[in-house]
Chains A and B, each alone.
Chain A
Amino acid sequence: MSVQQSSRRQGGGYLERPAPSGLADVIEIILDKGIVIDAYVRVSLVGIEILTIDARIVIASVDTYLRFAEATNRLDLVEHGGGKPLDEFIGSMQESGATKKVGGAVKGAKKALSPGSSDDDEGRRPARKSSSRRRSEEQ
């Protein structure tokens, strides 16, 4: 079994099966996932705040509303044949969607990965009890 080969395989065409390759893909997958080790038994790396990309969180906001309004109105231009070709239109929609999503993911990762910005208190007390530890105590 090979993860790489499987993830590259293309199926019947309607299901998109991208092989995660770029940084954004990796961040999206790992985000703040995984077993959390208590802060007082681990070391914090210097400079773990990885990225300072302009992060936009995807929430209901005026910007989001304006995007939908714009998308709705551009849609009409396409239908009337007065606007961009359809595939160019779809391409720009996907592009703007991807940009927003990456921004949100990076923000999430940054928050999860920066010990200094949480209530970590320089790692000398547990910022968050690990789920594993919690489970052990219940047993």
Chain B
Amino acid sequence: MTTVRTDDVVDTDRGFFVYGVVDSATGRVPDGLTGVEDTPVSVVARGPVAAVVGEIDLDRTTGRRADLVAYSTVLDRLASAGAVAPVQFGSVMVDEESIVEELLAPNEQYFAQLLADLAGRAQFNLRVGFHEPVVLAEVVAADPEIRRLHEYTRDLPEDAAYADRVRLGELVARAMEDKRELEVEALLDSILPLTVAYSLRSGAGIEHVLDVALLVDDDRRPEFEEHLEGLAEAVHERLRLRLVGPVAPYDFVGGEAWA
């Protein structure tokens, strides 16, 4: 049970939870904003970029649920006030000096460019799922082997014909995966023209058709939302669309250039 620290750091019980990075000149923390441990949120600036931080106790072990919610609340409040680049949850640094010297100074150019790219834009998360009763019926109707297994197993008790049930499920899963690939292409073709960038998330797969983060220009947001509303209506018999956002641009702060 130790708090891991760097070797050259003075021993202290307090540290700084780092929420994100903002522009020094334009980034503002909303009045009275508090974060993890209900401590005030403040900025540590260095040149054109600033870290948004809050003091916390380094020896704490509890309150994780509240911490996650506090973290996302702070970032969404910041995002609604201007460009912010979220820092991964749980990042804590020991003092203001290390924030300036180790985080801000070495990455100044990168953060400045990132914030410029994020300015006037917001992230939305779109998740698309099959309306299963309809799509399963399509699958059964289209494949004779699936139909045969379905007709054979459907009236048997649940613990009977185990191998046939597994085989049926496997064939259905494959058929839905084939459908998924077709749907994803059509969905992205329809949506991406209204976005600046996109990032596929890990939630997609066998249970979801598509799980994607979208970066949208603020001035195109009404058009974007209206388009998705229309799309959701057009495909609603087979697909269900769920849009969350705007949220802070968690998926657009690292890796490859996108702007």
Residue-wise interface mask of A (58-80) relative to B, using a CB-CB cutoff of 8 A (1 in contact, 0 not): 11101011111111110111110
Kindly specify which of B40-48, B180-188, B232-240 makes contact with the partner chain: B232-240
| Majority DSSP secondary structure for residues of A touching B | helix
Residue-wise interface mask of A (2-46) relative to B, using a CB-CB cutoff of 8 A (1 in contact, 0 not): 111011000111111110100101111111111111101111111
Residue-wise interface mask of B (189-204) relative to A, using a CB-CB cutoff of 8 A (1 in contact, 0 not): 0000000000001110
Report yes or no: B58 in contact with A73, Cβ–Cβ below 8 A. Answer: no
- Contact status of A46 and B106, CB under 8 A, knowing A1-B80, A30-B72, A68-B172: no
Report yes or no: A36 in contact with B254, Cβ–Cβ below 8 A. Answer: yes
Report yes or no: B133 in contact with A30, Cβ–Cβ below 8 A. Answer: no
- B199 → A minimal CB distance (Å): 9
CA A79 to CA B20, docked complex, whole Å: 52
Residues of A within 8 A of B146 (CB): 72
Report yes or no: B92 in contact with A43, Cβ–Cβ below 8 A. Answer: yes
- B48 → A minimal CB distance (Å): 14
Query: Which residue in B80, B208, B232 is a CB contact (below 8 Å) of A2?
Result: B80
Report yes or no: A3 in contact with B76, Cβ–Cβ below 8 A. Answer: yes
- Contact status of A71 and B132, CB under 8 A, knowing A25-B244, A28-B203, A37-B103: yes
Report yes or no: B92 in contact with A136, Cβ–Cβ below 8 A. Answer: no
Residues of A within 8 A of B80 (CB): 1-3
- A82 → B minimal CB distance (Å): 10
- Contact status of A131 and B255, CB under 8 A, knowing A12-B233, A46-B1, A93-B132: yes
**What are 15 A-B pairs with beta-carbon distances under 8 A?**
A23-B65, A31-B250, A33-B86, A34-B91, A35-B91, A37-B91, A44-B3, A46-B61, A64-B169, A65-B166, A69-B168, A69-B172, A72-B154, A75-B133, A136-B109
